[in-house]
Chain A
Amino acid sequence: MSAREEILAAVRGALAGADRADTPVPRAYRDAPPPADVVGLFVERAADYRAHVVRCAEADVPAAVASALGGLTRVLVPPGFPYPLPIPVDAGESTAELDRVDAVVTTAALAIATTGTLVLDHTDGQGRRALTLLPDTHLCLVRTDRVVPDVPAAIAALDPRRPQTWISGPSATSDIELNRVEGVHGPRNLHILVVG
């Protein structure tokens, strides 16, 4: 018997005589009233995780991006990035080349207020996964109408067939004496521009 057959047979044997009817799953948590100021809460919670968060109007995006990037020179945006900025577009640079890039500027699929989380589903404007991983600075633009209240709202809005990266603050570790330290393998600087 193959491993597959044997494991499935063992599962069926283990469940012989068990009541197989589903337990109802309480789902009232999905109907929790949204926070009064969803965008404000997102800004506060993202900053809690030591992300640098700035709010700006649509028209001020170029200036806000320039200010957030400071003096960084080797910067990329992904294909399909919606704002006209004087920044070159990722043309499929190799991993080694990406490792020499200082910063990347992208959009996000959505943002979650209660947890201060950005979610990228790596469609147009967000880039392939390596693009937002290797450079040490990630500047992410999220429009106010893309901020959802909580995790259930985010899960409901996202398509599982897309690869996703959920980002809550810069790379961090608690592995030394359980003290949180920002900055391990992922981008050590996370800037968020909340637009609108």
Chain B
Amino acid sequence: MSGTFLGMPPFPTAARAALADSQLRHNLAHATGTIRGKRAGVVAEVDDWEQLRLAGAAIKDNALRSLDETLLRLEESLQDNGVTVHWARDAAEACSIVASIARGHGVDEVVKVKSMATQEIGLNEALAEHGIAAWETDLAELIVQLGDDLPSHILVPAIHRNRAEIRELFRDKMGSVGMPAPEGLSDEPAELAAAARRHLREKFLRAKVAVSGANFAVADSGTLVVVESEGNGRMCLTLPEVLISVVGIEKVVPTWSDLDVFFQLLPRSSTGERMNPYTSTWSGVTPGDGPQEMHVVLLDNGRTRVLADEVGRQALRCIRCSACLNVCPVYERTGGHAYGSVYPGPIGAILNPLMKGVGEDAQTDSLPYASTLCGACFEVCPVRIDIPEVLVHLRSRVVDAHRSGPPSAEALAMRTAGWLFGDARRLAAAEGASRLASRLGRRVLPGGRRALGWLPWPGSLWTGARDLPAPPRRSFRNWWKDRR
């Protein structure tokens, strides 16, 4: 069992708590700094990186622009390969399909490959309600699951935990769900990895049913792809008798040869490696080798809503590499939990509102504002998703969704400013007041300009998290008058 994001507060509230956690900030700064350096090194090795990005974006766009036909081709190829194809409109439908297949085989446990789609639909919790234990086998997912915790990063869900915290967790919790941690376990990462190997091996060897996602689904050949590092994916894809793969409908690419772009873009962007340790590809059942019964669940769960948004549909190109998280100045300081979703960071700030729709709840509506619009995310995105463009677009949609209700403090402030600036005498009076305020500036910003550290309410809503540069001692109009 792991925690739930349901009932999370809006981003600013959640971020405040995260910012106060100095251990978290230390863990995150260390981890994101390491991965940024590694990514930059291996991306610089590739001469035509920008062209690969353009190719990746074009391939995904082409698949999305004819998504109905591409999906039908994928379905046909999968069926030709002996795979049973299911379609799920939403999370509940997908979970019930997986549960009924597992129950049909009489199992009370499944092993899982790390998968964002199954996180998104809350599959583990749904299976638990059916009396089926879902064992996460990725090391970071195991850490999250043992700690009854929430994921905070797409690639490394336990990025917020350091080695000492992980050792405590293994010592306290492993024994209650299987093979306990060895006596005298240290906090050396190699020893912790060895403890996970021992703990999970018995589960791999006895599992009858495995659940995976897929990084890519190839329409022409009916091939699914799982990209991983540890070998837990290979275990789940090879040893059990039954394999169920939950695949978002945006994962489809037209042809096998298109993978020559993504197998270059993804590992370098994601873990900062030339190639990840293991990639498995399979096209249905292979007699005598691996699972002999295979199911694919094609999942919508809001993706067609994203597709309908002309600006936002580019978010469906996302290959879940998490490069945008690692470069984001906001993510680096608040961590992933503040975003209240399995999709945190810049991509989460657009994907969640696009998938769920805006104007429904304050938490989702707060996400497009969880950004400085610095553009670092767009620069590193391997499929060129212009995240700042989509953020600005979603901010306008959030504002539009709230036009009918009572005006917000921000709307009132803007209206007041409009009224002040609309008349020369009113503006002159305001300038007089701001001259007074310029004397109050006590703090000095980098560069030497003075700033107002604090304003009384409602100005405190602004100054609570920002410095307000002090107005200059003379206004432009005043200066101009004297020159003439």
Closest-CB distance, A54 to chain B (whole angstroms): 20
Which of B285-293, B361-369, B431-439, B460-468 is near enough to bind chain A? B285-293
Task: Give the segment of A68-76, A80-88, A160-168 that binds chain B.
Answer: A160-168
Mask, B293-333, CB within 8 Å of A = 1, is 00000101000110110100100000000000000000000
Partner of B231, one of A174, A178, A186: A186
The answer, yes or no, to whether B140 is at the interface (CB within 8 Å) is yes
Q: Is B249 an interface residue (CB 8 A)?
A: yes
Q: Is A177's CB under 8 angstroms from B189's CB?
A: yes
Interface class of chain B by DSSP? helix
Alpha-carbon gap, A10 to B250, bound state (A): 13
Q: Name A178-196 residues within 8 Å CB distance of B.
A: 178-179, 181-187
A167 to B, closest residue via Cβ: B278
**Which one of A11, A45, A112, A186 contacts B304 once the chains associate, using CB atoms below 8 Å?**
A11
**B420 lies within 8 A of chain A by Cβ:** no
Give the Cβ gap from A118 to chain B, nearest Cβ, in Å: 10
CA distance A182 to B231 in the complex (A): 11
> For chain A residues 150-170, which have a beta carbon within 8 Å of chain B?
151-152, 154-156, 160-170
* Chain A residues, CB < 8 A from B271: 174
Q: Is A59 an interface residue (CB 8 A)?
A: no
Q: Is B428 an interface residue (CB 8 A)?
A: no
- Residues of chain A with a CB closer than 8 A to B478's CB: none
Contact A175 B138 (CB under 8 A): yes
B8 in the interface (beta carbon within 8 A): no
Q: Which of A3-27 contact B (CB under 8 A)?
A: 3-4, 6-8, 10-15, 18-27
Find chain A residues with CB under 8 A from B68 CB: 8, 11-12, 15
The answer, among B201, B218, B273, B307, for a CB contact under 8 Å with A99, is B201
Q: Are B201 and A184 in contact (CB under 8 A)?
A: no
Select from chain B the residue with minimum beta-carbon distance to A186. Answer: B231
| Residues on the B chain within 8 Å of A170, using CB | 277
Known: A152-B260, A177-B31. Is A3-B307 also a contact (CB below 8 A)? no
- Contact assessment for A177 and B163 in the assembled complex, using a CB-CB cutoff below 8 Å: yes
Given A128-B289, A163-B290: A183 and B162 within 8 A (CB)?
Answer: no
Residue of B nearest to A4 (CB): B87
Whether B166 lies near A165 (C-beta < 8 A) is: no
CB pair A181 B274 closer than 8 Å:
no
Q: Number of residues in A with C-beta < 8 Å to the partner?
A: 74
Most chain A beta-carbon contacts within 10 A, residue among B55, B201, B258? B55
Q: How far is the CA of A112 from the CA of B47 in the complex (A)?
A: 17
Separation of A35 and B290 alpha carbons in the complex (Å):
36
A67 within 8 Å of B (CB atoms): no
**Residues B200 and A185 in contact, CB atoms below 8 Å apart:** yes
List the B side residues contacting A151 at CB < 8 Å: 260, 263-264, 275
Evaluate whether A176 and B189 lie within 8 angstroms (CB atoms) in the complex, with A19-B65, A163-B286 already known: yes
Known contacts A18-B65, A167-B278; 18 additional CB pairs below 8 A are: A10-B300, A11-B304, A14-B308, A21-B65, A29-B55, A32-B48, A45-B274, A99-B205, A156-B257, A156-B260, A163-B282, A166-B279, A166-B281, A168-B276, A175-B138, A175-B139, A178-B31, A185-B137
Q: Which residues of B contact A (CB under 8 A)?
A: 27, 30-32, 34-35, 47-48, 51-52, 54-55, 58-59, 61-62, 65-68, 71-72, 86-89, 93, 137-140, 143, 156, 158-159, 162-163, 166, 189-190, 192-194, 196-197, 200-201, 204-205, 218, 221, 223, 229-232, 234-235, 237-239, 249, 256-261, 263-264, 271, 273-283, 286, 288-290, 298, 300, 304-305, 307-308, 310, 313
Residues of A that sit less than 8 Å from B by CB: 2-4, 6-8, 10-15, 18-30, 32, 45, 48-49, 95-96, 99, 112, 114-117, 122, 128-130, 133, 151-152, 154-156, 160-179, 181-187
Please, could you name 11 A-B residue pairs with CB atoms under 8 Å apart, sorted by A?
A3-B87, A8-B72, A11-B307, A25-B55, A128-B289, A129-B237, A130-B239, A155-B259, A155-B263, A175-B158, A184-B139
